[in-house]
Chains A and B, each alone.
Chain A
């Protein structure tokens, strides 16, 4: 059904970034950032256009449900068929547009941002490579292909986080990211194996068609539940959920556009995307769903609370990302896959915007990231401020900006879905409050108030157009992006009764939880009101704290000293991981090496050798040189041999008696 033209488009879509990577990668020593950036941006843009061209086919009457393209058989062994084939359906269409679109913008932004770097070409090569892998992840028609992209983006993430590798910390952050992701990947692999063993296939469409008629599993050990849980482990790695979220904040060691692209907008949402892709499967594993929801909610709250205390502008955003990803998983967990996708998209817009904004700030502040040393930047960098402001409103969920719609949908489903509960809602609600608070705090400390830096030395400035254009575009998207998913209750009161376009778009592609929803339209209104008002309240409080009465902050801090220390230090999770997991493993390995290899196996060999030598030295001792001793051994040998032959031990007495008696 896929025409050759589709394959051609797919080829352009996927290969453009790869070509960009090669073009830049082969001349990696070049310092011509403009050329490199142009190539890379052009590649990303080409992809975007190709993606758009394919997605357009999905619109209109009689449009296919999906556009697929088969290239060649990658692996084919005894029932395991892994074709290189790609698909754009309604889910991946959203994703591919976000990735290529936002990706292009960030490429563009990078040209300006990386203009002073020593190795811009390499940077852009990596960025293109990332895009390529991300496209594989999104478009792959089977889990293996997705896994290829999945690992590939992890690799690029590693490369980009450790881009400034001479700094040990940054290199370590890269490694941490990769290894943590690998843990998830191991889960992903196991999930895949489980699926393959159960269904005999790894193609999405095949798996989904095979699970279609199955009843939901109730226990914990059913193959689907296990597969779902394993896959979710993979998702927690990639999408930075408890317990594997720790890499993401550290990943901020990379260049800021990278944080925007990989660690906010695209890669980290891969986990959500994967779950949405396999939603018909996940919906059959309610226990797994419950786990996902709880983990998501917990991550949302935990990360948000950590965000309250951080001073690194990127760290705040990072924790915010973790928190927002938590919301997406919460949505997945309660069966609101559409809401998850919705939030994914809007989050991609506003979080990319905010990261790029922060990048602009950092760029302007000459690589300063500590918000305590900022303040009052609004007047220096008005455009950045403005766009950041839009992002701020979007993320704290004030209508009618994008965040409001998506987050509220999630909260509503958390409450009303058959899988939801009031506790999940409450968690989301608290998270929303925290989000509003720390985001406002960030705004306040960065843009509002008085400058806290030395204005004589530092001259914050707005960057060039390559950096500002993406900001503006993203700001617009953040502002209006939410309208693709207007809730019904709002849509009804609006003129023209706009429906929930996204829900409609995804209908039939994602699973819908069976069972009754609880809650009514009134309830939805009430909850919506509650969340908006708490967001507003938090924001105002934060504004009050950080702009009007900074002293209050100190007082609160002192009042809750211990709690603050705990939160400020990110609940000591890293430390605990190090102390309880990594160090024991490293020390244990050393012990293993010392005890098993050196002291046991080799020792055993040596003992065997010593034994042999011991026998030898005994033999040598007997070899005393004394002739008569040799003769004695001969005599003893004769005696022993004959005694053995005569079974002398048994018949010695008899023999002697007869010998003397005869």
Chain B
């Protein structure tokens, strides 16, 4: 039955739920009048912070809850930090655009927190059905959030595309769960990972089918080729804070959920699975990077870059699932997720600062003259872009370094090689904004560049500083991640 420890595990979620409900309640009891955005956001942030503290208080814990439906371990704690952090930044960015969000702002925050709860559920799930629920909660809230944007055409289109494809992928995912349930007899992840080897060795076709569908269902959420097609469109059409949240928190949680599923040496029984996933990883990197080169819209560039990064992270996942050393791979995946999230938040923060109109975003060429008008922003963005490109001594470099390291440790030379080639390609488009910012003659003053949003600016500068600082001293972070991953149930 429900014990205190169960409540403790879900305490962050409860706190979030309460914190998100308060503004809505205020609204309800205040005859449907919108509370001040500041109040709304304060509750949300408070909730996030409180959730963070609650999580921190459980950092040493490793336990399951609710009849093994949830598991709280280091990986979960670490992921929770990331998700909460991303959510906090996203909400702060939304606050910067409060004039465009003013109506229904409390609902928006509420839904945002809803998706955070869903994300946390996904993150902590120890049961595929909980995973599914988490994904759905997260996604459904996000669909609505996207559609609630003031922007007419693009956001509706983005929302609907995401919705249809997401539901489609959910069905696939669910089909996979059904097959796994049928073959394993349970949907609990530990039960599944325990039987993976046996089922794969026996060539249980249903299980093959199930695990394949399951992975592909996950793959949709983290935009692995060929399930990535929604990504650029949806990222572009969504309000930037939502995009930032999707690109960081959702991805982080999904990847961690995948890590949980992949936590078994049994996968080594089927090398074909590995080569199939490797192909997907390679294709993802390639498609993401090459398509990004041709983009004009900065948000689309980042969307494709996010696709490409999923490809890189896949390398780590493959190493975790099919290598000899799950721990080291998982550590690196988490580390990479962290670095990726930091950089992505920073870059989306810049878009949030500069974009004229939600959804339309800004083109790379619009950045012309940024160095003159907002030198600090320009510098911060440049740092982040170099970090994304993997130039040392930034966080991005150490992320890539450790990721390729894991690949080589597990003898995944081809993946590492492709990763490197793709990194080179990526340099091209990451540096294009830098070229525009610094190297084009800014004779024509671009009055367009109106920077709004103090919090987003702070976010940008903060993340930029973080990339450099952690890049220079990555050891403590790495140690933290290591401790987190090793603290596993």
Q: How distant is the Cα of A615 from the Cα of B227 in the complex, in angstroms?
A: 17
Contact in complex: A634, B168 (CB < 8 Å): yes
Q: Which of B127-135, B289-297, B445-453 contacts A (4 or more CB under 8 A)?
A: B289-297
- Would you list which residues of chain A between 609 and 659 have a CB under 8 Å from chain B? 612-613, 615-617, 619-620, 622-623, 625, 627, 629-631, 633-634, 636-638, 640-642, 644-647
- Is the CB–CB distance between B280 and A620 below 8 Å? no
B-side contacts of A645, CB under 8 Å: 208, 212, 270, 272-273, 276
Q: Which residues of the other chain, A, contact B103 by a CB distance below 8 angstroms?
A: none
In the bound complex, CA of A641 to CA of B276 (Å): 7
Asked whether B205 is an interface residue with its Cβ less than 8 Å from the other chain, the reply is: yes
For A615, list chain B residues within 8 Å (CB).
286-287, 290
Stretch binding the partner chain, chosen from B17-25, B83-91, B228-236: B228-236
Q: Which of A616, A642, A646 gathers most chain B CB within 10 Å?
A: A616
Residue with the highest number of chain B CB atoms closer than 10 Å, among A619, A625, A634, A641: A619
Contacts of B208 in A (CB 8 A): 642, 645-646
Which one of A620, A629, A641 contacts B216 once the chains associate, using CB atoms below 8 Å? A641
User: A295-319 vs B: 1/0 string, CB under 8 Å?
Assistant: 0000000000000000000000000
How many angstroms between the C-alpha atoms of A631 and B272 in the bound complex? 25
Q: How far is the CA of A630 from the CA of B158 in the complex (A)?
A: 13
- Given A631-B168, A634-B169, CB of A646 within 8 Å of CB of B290: no
With known contacts A615-B286, A644-B276, A645-B273, A634–B291 Cβ distance under 8 A: no
> What is the minimal beta-carbon distance from B475 to any residue of chain A, in angstroms?
35
C-alpha gap A640/B230 in the complex (Å): 19
Q: Does B486 contact A (CB under 8 A)?
A: no
On whether the beta carbons of A612 and B293 are closer than 8 Å, the reply is: yes
Q: A638-B216, A642-B209, A645-B276 are in contact. Are A631 and B165 (CB under 8 A)?
A: yes
Q: Does B483 contact A (CB under 8 A)?
A: no
| Docked-complex contact B226 and A619, CB < 8 angstroms | no
B11 interface residue, CB < 8 Å from A? no
Interface residues of B in 255-304 (CB under 8 A from A): 270, 272-273, 275-276, 279-280, 286-287, 289-294
Q: Flag whether B322 is at the interface (Cβ < 8 A).
A: no
Q: Which residues of chain B have C-beta atoms less than 8 A from A622's C-beta?
A: 229
**Most central of A625, A627, A633 by chain B CB within 10 Å:** A627
Q: List 7 A-B contacts (CB under 8 A).
A: A613-B293, A615-B290, A619-B287, A622-B229, A630-B230, A633-B226, A645-B212
Contact residue among A616, A642, A647 (Cβ-Cβ distance under 8 Å from B212): A642
Contacts of B291 in A (CB 8 A): 616, 619-620, 623
B165 and A612 form a contact (CB under 8 A) = no
Which residues on A sit within 8 Å (CB–CB) of B105? none
Assess whether B294 is in contact with A616, with CB atoms less than 8 Å apart: yes
> Which residues A113-135 have CB closer than 8 A to chain B?
none
Q: How far is the CA of A615 from the CA of B425 in the complex (A)?
A: 12
Min distance, Cβ A632 to any Cβ of chain B, angstroms: 9
Contacts of A637 in B (CB 8 A): 216, 225-227
Q: Do A634 and B172 form a contact, CB below 8 Å, given A612-B290, A617-B294, A623-B291?
A: yes
Within 8 A of A (CB), among B142-161: 160-161
- Are A630 and B161 touching (Cβ within 8 A)? yes
- B161-A627 in contact (CB<8A): yes
- B212: chain A residues at CB < 8 Å are 638, 641-642, 645
Interface residues of B (CB under 8 A from A): 160-161, 164-165, 168-169, 172, 205, 208-209, 212-213, 216, 220, 225-227, 229-230, 232-233, 270, 272-273, 275-276, 279-280, 286-287, 289-294, 425, 428
| Bound: A620/B276 CA distance, A | 23
Identify 7 new A-B residue pairs, CB closer than 8 A, beyond the known A634-B169, A637-B216.
Answer: A623-B229, A627-B165, A630-B229, A631-B165, A634-B216, A634-B220, A645-B208
Choose one: B213, B232, B294; the contact of A638 (CB below 8 Å). B213
Q: Which residues of A contact B (CB under 8 A)?
A: 612-613, 615-617, 619-620, 622-623, 625, 627, 629-631, 633-634, 636-638, 640-642, 644-647
CA separation between A634 and B213, bound complex, in Å? 11
B153 to chain A, nearest CB (A): 12
| Chain B residues within 8 Å of A613, by CB | 290, 293-294
- What is the chain A residue whose CB lies nearest that of B162? A627
Query: Which residues from B are CB-within-8-Å of A642?
Result: 208-209, 212-213
Residues on the B chain within 8 Å of A640, using CB: 226
Going nearest first, the 9 A-B pairs with the smallest beta carbon separation are: A616-B290, A637-B226, A630-B229, A619-B291, A615-B290, A633-B226, A619-B287, A616-B291, A644-B276
- Residue in A620, A634, A636 whose beta carbon sits within 8 Å of that of B165 in the complex: A634
Task: Report yes or no: B226 in contact with A636, Cβ–Cβ below 8 A.
Answer: yes
> How far, in angstroms, from A630 to B220 measured CA to CA in the complex?
11
Residues of A within 8 A of B172 (CB): 634, 638
Minimum C-beta distance from A606 to chain B (A) = 13
Decide: B272 and A633 in contact? CB cutoff 8 A: no
Return chain A residues, CB-CB under 8 Å to B425: 612
Pick the contact of A623: B205, B216, B232, B275 (CB < 8 A).
B232
Report A635 CB to chain B, min CB distance, Å. Answer: 8
Rounded to whole Å, the gap between the CB of B423 and the closest CB of chain A is 12
Is A634 in contact with B226, judged by CB distance below 8 angstroms?
Answer: yes
For B230, the chain A residues whose CB sits under 8 A away are 630
- Nearest B residue (CB) for A630: B229
Chain B contacts for A617, CB-based, 8 A:
294
Instruction: Kindly state the separation between the CA atoms of A629 and B226 in the bound complex, as whole angstroms.
Output: 11
In angstroms, how far is the closest chain A Cβ from the Cβ of B266? 15
Nearest A residue to B425 by beta-carbon distance?
A612
Q: If the complex has contacts A613-B290, A641-B216, are A633 and B209 also in contact, measured as CB distance less than 8 A?
A: no
| Cα distance A619–B205 in the bound complex, in angstroms | 32
What residues on B are CB-neighbors of A619 within 8 Å? 287, 290-291
Provide the bound-state CA to CA distance between A647 and B272, in Å: 9
The answer to whether B227 touches A634, judged by C-beta atoms less than 8 angstroms apart, is yes
- B428 to chain A minimum Cβ distance, whole angstroms, is 8
A620 B294 Cβ-Cβ under 8 A: yes
Check A616–B164 contact: CB distance below 8 A.
Answer: no
A616 partner, pick from B233, B280, B292, beta carbons under 8 A: B292
Whether the Cβ atoms of A633 and B276 lie closer than 8 Å is: no
Q: How far is the CB of B407 from chain A (nearest CB, A)?
A: 21
Contacts of B233 in A (CB 8 A): 623, 625
Among A640, A642, A645, the one with the most B-chain Cβ atoms within 10 Å of its Cβ is A645
Instruction: State A633–B213 Cα separation when bound (angstroms).
Output: 14
CB distance from B200 to the nearest CB of A (A): 10
- Nearest neighbor of A614 in chain B, beta-carbon distance: B290
Chain B, residue nearest A615 (CB): B290
State the CA gap A622–B425 with chains docked (Å).
Answer: 20
CA distance A643 to B248 in the complex (A): 32
Given contacts A633-B229, A638-B172, contact A646 B205 (CB under 8 A): yes
Which residue of chain B has the shortest Cβ distance to A640 in the bound complex?
A: B226
Residues of B within 8 A of A631 (CB): 164-165, 168
The distance in angstroms between the C-alpha atoms of A619 and B279, with both chains bound, is 16
Q: Looking across the interface, which residue of chain A has its beta carbon closest to that of B230? A: A630
Nearest CB of chain A from residue B206's CB, rounded to whole Å: 11
Collect the chain B residues with CB atoms within 8 Å of residue A644's CB.
272, 275-276, 279
Residue on B with the closest CB to A628?
B164
**Chain A residue, CB-CB nearest to B288:** A619
A629 to B233, CA, bound (A): 13
The smallest beta-carbon distance between B437 and chain A, in angstroms, is 22
- B294 touching A630, Cβ below 8 Å: no
Task: Name the distance in Å between A383's Cβ and chain B's nearest Cβ.
Answer: 74
Distance from B24 Cβ to chain A, minimum over Cβ atoms (Å)? 32
Q: How far is the CB of B286 from chain A (nearest CB, A)?
A: 6
| Complex: A1 Cα to B168 Cα, angstroms | 101
- Chain B neighbourhood of A616, CB < 8 A: 289-294
* Complex alpha-carbon distance, A642 and B213, angstroms: 8
Per the bound structure, the CA–CA distance linking A634 and B270 in Å amounts to 23
Q: Min CB distance, B451 to chain A, in Å?
A: 30
Complex formed: what's the CA distance from A625 to B158 in Å?
A: 10
A502, B291: Cα distance in complex, Å: 86
The CA-CA distance from A453 to B42 in the complex, in Å, is: 110
Q: Find the B residue at minimum CB distance from A636.
A: B226
Closest chain A residue, CB of each to CB of B205: A646
Q: Which chain B positions have C-beta within 8 A of A623?
A: 229, 232-233, 291
